[in-house]
Homo-oligomer: A and B are copies of this chain.
Amino acid sequence: MNGTEAPAGPAAVVTADTLRRFATAVFERAGMSGADAGIVADVLVWANLRGVDTHGVMRIPRYFNLIEAGDMNPRPVIAVRSETPASVLIDADRAAGPIAMTRARAEAARKARNAGVGLALVRATTHTAALGYYTSAAAREGMAAIAVSASWPNMAYHGARAAGVSTSPISIAVPDGEEDALLLDMGTGVVSMGRLAQAKKIGAAIPAGWALDKNGNPTTDAHAAEIPLPMAGPKGSGLALMIECITSLIVSNPLVAEFIEGTAEGRRHRQNGLLIAIDIARFGDPDVFRGEVARLVKAVKSLPADTGSTEILMPGERGKRTFVQRTHDGIPIPPAILEELRILAMRLGVPMFALSPG
């Protein structure tokens, strides 16, 4: 659901492979194993390929800062706890989110193949990145997958004039008719933090109902906007609150209460996650399922489009198109992000990637 960021100036265009190699080198230099660095790089670049640049390589310097601050552990000892026939609780030891969530996807799918459904709970990870990466990977393995993640409060709770819950994302994916995934990946806010940041950059007025200012007053001034409002009022903040309950509270790592109470732990960057996989083949023929998804998509797309729409889009369809286009043409990187990456590369002694003009 995140829009593509329009760069503020002329952007360089870089291939996915180049960005992956660069990100891998940075994370290795920051202390990760080569395998782990490669996974984190792949998850971030996947977001860029999908057009979700807020979750792409612009996160590299932020992840490095988390490692420096001791909040992200580049050499985590990930332990499986509370294993049951259909579930695992993974203590992530402050691993990079992509490492913990990739492990969660694998464990949930393994459990689902044995037990019909598999649950992976993730305790004490860091920024989980684009959840759709993990659910769509599970879908390509024949699973229906549901993932959520919990973070500290950055979104207004309905009826409050302060942040009380996070813009907790929800992703659901199923195998589609094209050996790929039908993929929903959305935040519970009316607008993403990335889209708010983008509006700030452009400076145009934002619609009423998007955000509060730092004092908790509704604002249409992009520069003053600080706290996004929940989608559909009590529904968005209610979902976010329940996500905190079914992730953070089950794994005994509360984030929201610690933050609001102002404890030292509450101000540290921490996340928790949950991924459920359902093995479709245990309930019917997976080829029939894929055919039915194709039929459903065709039926919904056959509806008359409203006057504001040129076509009816499926969840994740725009991202899939951007993926194809950017895989072919490369990924545009705005000058400000390039500059941040260059400074980090110099500091770590990692060769900066070569640029072709955008």
Q: A305 to B161, Cβ gap below 8 A?
A: yes
A236 within 8 A of B: yes
Q: B299 to A257, Cβ gap below 8 A?
A: yes
Q: B260 to A303, Cβ gap below 8 A?
A: yes
| Given A85-B114, A300-B260, A303-B162, residue A245 in contact with residue B174 (CB < 8 A) | yes
| Given A216-B306, A284-B250, residue A242 in contact with residue B315 (CB < 8 A) | yes
Q: A234 to B146, Cβ gap below 8 A?
A: no
Number of interface residues of A (CB under 8 A): 82
Closest to A255 in B: B296
- Residue from B121, B276, B296, B311 within 8 A of A283 (CB atoms): B121
| Given A115-B86, A232-B236, residue A244 in contact with residue B296 (CB < 8 A) | yes
How far, in whole Å, are A87 and B280 apart by their CA atoms in the complex?
12
A89 within 8 A of B: yes
A129 within 8 A of B: no
Q: A159 to B284, Cβ gap below 8 A?
A: no
How far, in whole Å, are A84 and B232 apart by their CA atoms in the complex?
37
Q: A84 to B115, Cβ gap below 8 A?
A: yes
CB distance from A173 to the nearest CB of B (A): 8
Q: A315 to B160, Cβ gap below 8 A?
A: no
How far, in whole Å, are A231 and B234 apart by their CA atoms in the complex?
11
- Residue from B114, B117, B159, B242 within 8 A of A306 (CB atoms): B159
How far, in whole Å, are A234 and B293 apart by their CA atoms in the complex?
18
Q: A115 to B144, Cβ gap below 8 A?
A: no
Residues in A lying within 8 Å of B, measured CB to CB: 1, 82, 84-87, 89, 111, 114-119, 121, 144, 146, 157-162, 164-165, 170, 172, 174, 182, 184, 186, 190, 216, 231-232, 234-236, 238-239, 241-242, 244-246, 249-252, 254, 256-257, 260-261, 276, 278, 280, 282-284, 288-289, 292-293, 295-296, 298-300, 302-309, 311-315
> With A116-B119, A159-B306, A241-B296 given, can you name 16 additional A-B contacts, CB distance below 8 Å?
A1-B235, A84-B117, A85-B114, A86-B111, A86-B115, A87-B116, A121-B283, A146-B246, A158-B313, A161-B303, A216-B306, A231-B235, A241-B300, A249-B292, A250-B289, A257-B292
